[in-house]
Amino acid sequence: MRKYLIILYTLLLASCSEVDFNFPSPGDKEEVGNFALTLTGEKASTRSTTTVITEEEAKNFLITIYKGSDVYRQTARLKDVNTTLSAGYGYSIFAESCSQEDAITSNNDWGQRRYAGISDAFAIKAGQTTPVSVGCSVANAGVEVVFDQSVPEYFTTSYDVTIHDGNRTIVFDSKTGGTQVGEQITQGDIAYFNVDENGHHTITYTITAVGPKVLTKTGTLELNKARISRIKLNYERSYFDFVILLEEEEAFLEDVINITDDDIQVDKGNTETIGTHDGLINDDTDVDINNYGQN
């Protein structure tokens, strides 16, 4: 009986040696490290419109991680970013306050100011945290219309400036436009537009005013990246025409967006671990099941 037990257990060991237990071996474990991200803005010049991003707004920045020219990790909000990466070289991080689509479709197609920037290439070393800084600047252009007090004084029925840009139509009137009384200017709403790779975008505008006289005037305006273009309208009664003054102001994201470690999820446990059973040794020694484990 004992002989049969020894033979049976030897067969069991032989069959068990063919099972993949998927135990990791030290040399097969993926080496990873982390990055610590800081978003920074630009210092404002003397004449500019500036915006300060709150910490809560910064947490909702969209982050895309690249390795070379390829997307390594899909876009996620900063507060949800997994900062653990495989050790290696050629990483870069692209940050934006909103997508290009949202930059022109939000706020009922008036759009919103968009900030964007990309880091320098950086490396991740196993077991270390790499500091990464992304400088963000204004990536689109804006338009504002200001009506001088002479416009509503004469055109008592209606007056507006309509912006035409593809499928978008933006109307500046007494409710959405700014006003100027003497030197005092009350700002109105701002419409935002994406720009091309050279930082430019051309729009068409139509001025319509109805009063004792009806006036219609059209024109084009070239917008520039990180600039707010202001169309100032003044009505000259002696010429029965509008005097159009165009001004530009730089738009900046002011100072630093402060992000602490608590604002980023360092690791969600999603890092892949590759394991094999190569570390196991198949021992063909006969074993007496009655004495197994006694020593």
Residue 225 falls within a domain, yes or no?
Answer: yes
pTM for this one?
0.77
Residue 52 falls within a domain, yes or no?
Answer: no
The string of pLDDT tens digits covering residues 22-55 is: 434 444 457 999 999 988 887 776 667 888 888 8
How many structural domains is the chain composed of?
1
Cβ pair 170, 109 in contact under 8 A: yes
For residues 108 and 79, give the distance between their C-alpha atoms in angstroms, rounded to a whole number: 27
Q: How far apart are the first and last CA of the chain?
A: 23
Residue 20 falls within a domain, yes or no?
Answer: no
Residue 272 falls within a domain, yes or no?
Answer: no
pLDDT 10s digit of each residue in the chain, 295 long?
Answer: 444 444 333 434 444 444 443 434 444 457 999 999 988 887 776 667 888 888 888 889 999 999 999 999 999 999 999 999 999 999 999 999 999 999 999 999 999 999 999 999 999 999 999 999 999 999 999 999 999 999 999 999 999 999 999 999 999 999 999 999 988 999 999 999 999 999 999 999 999 999 999 999 999 999 999 999 999 999 998 888 999 999 999 998 876 666 655 656 554 544 333 333 333 334 444 544 444 344 4
Q: What is the CA 271 to chain-centroid distance, rounded?
A: 24
**Of 176, 156, 175, 164, whose CA–CA distance to 235 is shortest?**
156
**What residues make up the domain containing 200?**
141-251
Residue 213 falls within a domain, yes or no?
Answer: yes
Q: For the domain that residue 220 is a member of, what is the CATH number?
A: 2.60.40
Residue 235 falls within a domain, yes or no?
Answer: yes
Residue 80 falls within a domain, yes or no?
Answer: no
Cβ pair 248, 228 in contact under 8 A: yes
Instruction: Convert 204-241 to b/e letters by CB count within 10 Å (16 or more is b).
Output: ebebbbebeeebeeeeebebebbbbbbbbbbbeeeeee
Residue 174 falls within a domain, yes or no?
Answer: yes
